[in-house]
């Protein structure tokens, strides 16, 4: 029997996903991507409450998402509706989270913002039960000193090829009086351009006109999926640490083709939350055969009030946040003398400088145009012999319109650099 559950962290943003696997009644948390359903193999199906939520010191609404595990890939997770969700801290009035959409509860940023040094407790009252988290202290977070990159080499995922690229690192400041445990995630944004943007229109009868180019420039976005945590040794905070974040090879991705940006977020952790993330990290990195460490339940910090033995999936996160964004330009990549990304675009040219080359089974260029556009290809440029139009070139849609795989709307934060 199978059970499925999508699970996102960080206050409703899809920056981290837990992949849960229950084998013989045990639960395995694995970090995964934002959209893939995953299956839990259970001997007996039991609908488990899943809690996703985080409070930071950022000025924004905080989100608590409530759902239940689902049994097979043909069903969707049940959203937990009409719950009473609130957070308490000290003797102050409870901070109420209002249901904004099914299963999604949010705070009001005008009346509540997390503060380092405060302790927060999550309370959830559903129709049938009540749940409460452990008290969670928001530990102060050091600033980010630098986010840097260097030329580097890594092996491909299959371990067979050594790739050239850049490694990106984050270095926290050496400020004292802050937490001994840190976690990082990041958001990548990069500019892309269609290799063969459409700037021509074929009107038939060997007539071509120029047209304004559309959807030539777009932006792609990706959130980190690895667990990146750090514990200062023996509680003695050193002056400098340099945490690797990610490696990018321009051979395997178009991230570095034009301009790339990474926003790094650094979270303070309590000892308890660090242990939770570190356990997840160890479980997610397990590989091998049946002689390896067996999957185990990674306990969270949310508990059923009525039934102490009931398992609840998720962790109520409380973290102060520091962030820093950098850009990597095409010029900087060129200076590193890295290989270039190669687009895999299918281009078909009908005709050419020699009019005889146009005799490829089509009676005319009109017939060729109708055939290739009829199978979903796009006319991209004319071919001339002197002043005479003798051929047409066609490409797949993905190579002519960047909005097929990216966002044509420029992000508000984006700055184009030379």
**Is the per-residue pLDDT at 175 higher than 90?**
no
**pLDDT for the residue numbered 392:** 96
Helix, strand counts (H, E) of the chain: 3, 28
Strand partners, 144: 172
Contact, 276 vs 298, CB < 8 A? yes
Average pLDDT over residues 141-159: 92
**Is the per-residue pLDDT at 236 higher than 60?**
no
pLDDT digits (tens, 9 = 90+) for 298-324: 789 999 999 989 999 999 999 999 999
The percentage of the chain sitting over the pLDDT mark of 70, rounded to a whole number, equals 80
Average pLDDT over residues 95-108: 98
Closest CA to 122 of 107, 141, 101: 107
What separation, in Å, do the N-terminal and C-terminal C-alpha atoms of the chain show?
A: 56
**Is the per-residue pLDDT at 32 higher than 60?**
no
Q: Which residues of 257-268 are buried (b: 16+ CB within 10 A; e: fewer)?
A: bbbbbbbbbbbb
Report the distance separating Cα 196 and Cα 397, nearest Å. 9
Owner of token pair 């667990």:
227
**pLDDT for the residue numbered 160:** 85
Higher-confidence position of 13 and 410: 410
CA angle 117, 187, 53 (to 5 degrees): 45
pLDDT digits (tens, 9 = 90+) for 347-373: 999 986 444 444 456 889 999 999 999
pLDDT digits (tens, 9 = 90+) for 239-268: 568 999 999 999 999 999 999 999 999 999
pLDDT digits (tens, 9 = 90+) for 223-234: 999 999 999 876
Report the distance separating Cα 49 and Cα 307, nearest Å. 13
**Is the per-residue pLDDT at 27 higher than 80?**
no
Length of the chain in terms of residues written: 418
**Is the per-residue pLDDT at 346 higher than 70?**
yes
Residue 169, SS3?
Answer: strand
Contact, 381 vs 167, CB < 8 A? no
Higher-confidence position of 247 and 73: 247
**Is the per-residue pLDDT at 129 higher than 90?**
yes
Report the distance separating Cα 225 and Cα 55, nearest Å. 20
**pLDDT for the residue numbered 29:** 35
pLDDT band at 238 (very low <50, low <70, confident <90, very high): low
Dihedral of the CA atoms 224, 226, 227, 228 (nearest 10)? -70
Average pLDDT over residues 135-164: 92
**pLDDT for the residue numbered 348:** 94
**pLDDT for the residue numbered 162:** 93
Poorest-pLDDT segment among 66-75, 264-273, 395-404: 66-75
pTM of the model as a whole: 0.83
**pLDDT for the residue numbered 394:** 97
Average pLDDT score over the chain: 84
Region for residue 204 given its phi and psi (left: phi exceeds 0; alpha: psi -120 to 50; beta: otherwise): left
Report the distance separating Cα 133 and Cα 309, nearest Å. 15
Cα-based distances in Å from 352 to 83, 365, 387, 417: 68, 11, 12, 39
The percentage of the chain sitting over the pLDDT mark of 90, rounded to a whole number, equals 68
**Residue ranges of the domains in the chain?**
2-140+269-321, 144-194+218-266+328-335, 347-404
Report the distance separating Cα 283 and Cα 27, nearest Å. 11
pLDDT digits (tens, 9 = 90+) for 184-213: 999 999 999 999 999 999 999 999 999 999
pLDDT digits (tens, 9 = 90+) for 375-384: 999 999 999 9
**pLDDT for the residue numbered 40:** 46
């Amino acid at each position: 029997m199978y059970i499925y559950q999508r699970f996102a962290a960080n206050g409703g943003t899809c920056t981290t996903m837990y992949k849960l696997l229950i084998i013989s009644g045990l639960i395995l948390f694995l970090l995964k991507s934002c959209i893939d359903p995953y299956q839990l193999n259970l001997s007996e199906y039991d609908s488990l409450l899943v809690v996703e939520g985080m409070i930071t010191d950022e000025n924004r609404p905080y989100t608590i998402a409530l759902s239940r595990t689902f049994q097979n890939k043909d069903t969707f997770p049940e959203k937990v509706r009409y719950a009473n969700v609130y957070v308490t801290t000290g003797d102050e009035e409870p901070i109420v989270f209002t249901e904004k959409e099914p299963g999604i509860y949010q705070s009001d940023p005008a009346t509540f913002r997390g503060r380092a040094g405060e302790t927060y407790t999550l309370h959830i009252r559903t129709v049938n039960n009540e749940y409460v988290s452990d008290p969670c202290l928001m530990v102060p977070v050091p600033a980010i000193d630098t986010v840097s990159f260097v030329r580097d080499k890594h092996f491909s995922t299959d371990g067979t090829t050594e790739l050239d690229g850049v490694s990106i690192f984050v270095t926290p400041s050496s400020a004292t009086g802050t937490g001994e445990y840190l976690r990082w995630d990041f958001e990548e944004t990069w500019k892309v351009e269609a290799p063969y943007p459409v700037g021509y229109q074929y009107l038939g009868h060997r007539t071509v006109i120029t047209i304004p180019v559309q959807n030539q420039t777009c932006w792609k976005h990706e959130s980190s999926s690895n667990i990146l945590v750090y514990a200062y040794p023996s509680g003695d905070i050193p002056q400098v640490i340099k945490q690797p974040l990610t490696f990018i090879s321009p051979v395997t991705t178009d991230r570095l083709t034009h301009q790339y940006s990474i926003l790094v977020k650094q979270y303070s952790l309590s000892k308890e939350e660090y242990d939770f993330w570190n356990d997840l990290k160890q479980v997610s990195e397990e590989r091998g055969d049946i002689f390896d460490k067996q999957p185990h339940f990674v306990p969270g910090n949310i508990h059923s009030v009525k039934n102490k033995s009931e398992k609840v999936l998720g962790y109520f996160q409380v973290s102060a946040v520091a962030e820093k964004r950098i850009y990597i330009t095409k010029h900087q990549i060129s200076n590193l003398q890295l290989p270039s990304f190669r687009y895999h675009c299918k281009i078909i040219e009908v005709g050419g400088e020699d009019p005889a080359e146009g005799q490829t089974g089509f009676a005319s260029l009109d017939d060729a145009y109708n055939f290739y556009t009829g199978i979903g290809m796009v006319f991209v440029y004319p071919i001339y012999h002197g002043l005479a139009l003798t051929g047409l070139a066609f490409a797949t849609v993905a190579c002519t319109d960047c909005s097929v795989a990216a966002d044509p709307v420029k992000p508000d934060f984006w700055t184009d650099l030379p």
